[in-house]
Amino acid sequence: MHRILVADDSSFMRHLIKRYVEEDPEIQVVGEAKNGEEAIAETLRLRPDVITMDVEMPGMDGLTALSEIMARRPTPVIMLSSFQKFGDAEIVMALQRGAVDFVAKPSGELSADLYKVKSELCEKIKNAAGAPIKRLLKLAGLTQAEAPPQPLSLLPLLRNARLRTASVVNELVAIGTSTGGPQALTVLLKGLPASFPHPIVIVQHMPAPFTASLAHRLDAVSALKVVEAKNGQQLANGTVFIAPGDSHMNVEEKEGSYWIKLHQKPIAGLHRPSVDELFRSIMALGRLKRHLVLLTGMGSDGAEQMLRARNAGQAATTIAESKETCIVYGMPRAAVERGIVDYVLPIEQISKKLLEIISG
């Protein structure tokens, strides 16, 4: 049985959350809190397995309470937010501070239609209950305490110099991730220098309002330029392209250059953007040396196309994050179990491995 603390300033929302999650026989709500101060006190008193935390609450807000809880009694936290009013920047910040995941309220702060995300919320609570607490704490410490690889004031100059001297794309890194991805991507990208000579394309399972904020947050801590991808955008060396939420991202070749194509065509699978769809598109780029990476996340998205790429000789390198550093060991495990991974590494070592590979 997973013991849950519900923190929300609305008694109506607390009632709905409790009602819906307790329809799952594996979940029990053991306490409620109407602001950040109460959330901290009840966490210390009840020691719940998981906390659902609203972002905006009177007095101490959810972000501040999250930081206090991670410092005083690290506990898996799922953030709830209305992205119509708040949400995107705050949620990405929460994930980088140690929250396991988030669920967007369907129609604002008082979402009577919360039933639309009931299954998602229950699934994420159960996954969060098994999240490695020490790992969450370490990730939160990394995003707050470590300095970026280069002084932020120098990043634009370094990026511009890199783009001027490396315009021909001959290698490509493609990364797929889901739950725990914002934390993992922060660590990975902070480990790459401004001189990294190739483009990186990333699929992170996330709704549309949040991927732009994720790109902005990653851009602030990375020596590389990080952007939310746009349809028709040309790939550039030293730049990281994040697939926008609710759109699949493909890479296509035209007259020796490589371009982003976004679409919403129905494909097999549960996710849009889809890692499998990204990997499938780059399999056709025979002139490129392609490196495929799978990081923390639920499910198996990306593993099937990584298998096909490996069997067809279309992937120069395959990398999976190891279980010891994953928040959820799903997507990497699916690839490892297929026997198609060259390197299984903790997240802190993946950037180093990429640098070794491109230098070889």
* pTM for the structure as a whole: 0.83
| Catalytic status, residue 61 | no
Give the pLDDT of residue 252.
Answer: 96
Which one from 81, 82, 111, 178 is the annotated catalytic residue? Answer: 178
Does domain 2-143 sit in CATH 3.30.565.10?
no
Q: Which fold has domain 152-359?
A: Rossmann fold (3.40.50)
pLDDT tens digit at each of 360 positions of the chain: 999 999 999 999 999 999 999 999 999 999 999 999 999 999 999 999 999 999 889 999 999 999 999 989 999 999 987 755 545 678 888 888 889 999 888 765 555 678 788 999 999 999 999 888 877 777 666 444 333 344 444 444 445 444 434 468 999 999 999 999 999 999 999 999 999 999 999 999 998 878 999 999 999 999 999 999 999 999 999 999 999 999 999 999 998 899 999 999 887 777 899 999 999 999 999 999 999 999 999 999 999 999 999 999 998 999 999 999 999 999 999 999 999 999 999 999 999 999 999 865
* Catalytic residue from among 49, 88, 198, 205: 205
2 is known as an active-site residue = no
SS3 assignment for the chain: CEEEEEECCCHHHHHHHHHHHCCCCCEEEEEEECCHHHHHHHHHHHCCCEEEEECCCCCCCHHHHHHHHHHHCCCCEEEEECCCCCCHHHHHHHHHCCCCEEEECCCCCCCCCHHHHHHHHHHHHHHHHCCCHHHHHHHHHHHHHCCCCCCHHHHHHHHHHHHHHCCCCCEEEEEEECCCHHHHHHHHHHCCCCCCCCCEEEEECCCHHHHHHHHHHHHHHCCCEEEECCCCCECCCCEEEECCCCCEEEEEEECCEEEEEEECCCCCCCCCCCHHHHHHHHCCCCCCEEEEEECCECCCCCHHHHHHHHHCCCCCEEEEECCCCCCCECHHHHHHHCCCCCEEECHHHHHHHHHHHHHC
Looking at 8, 49, 88, 301, which residue is catalytic?
A: 301
Q: What residue spans define the domains of the chain?
A: 2-143, 152-359
Q: Do domains 2-143 and 152-359 have the same CATH topology?
A: yes
Provide the pLDDT for residue 112: 61
Is 291 among the catalytic positions?
Answer: no
| pLDDT at 56 (0 to 100) | 86
- Residue 98, pLDDT score: 87
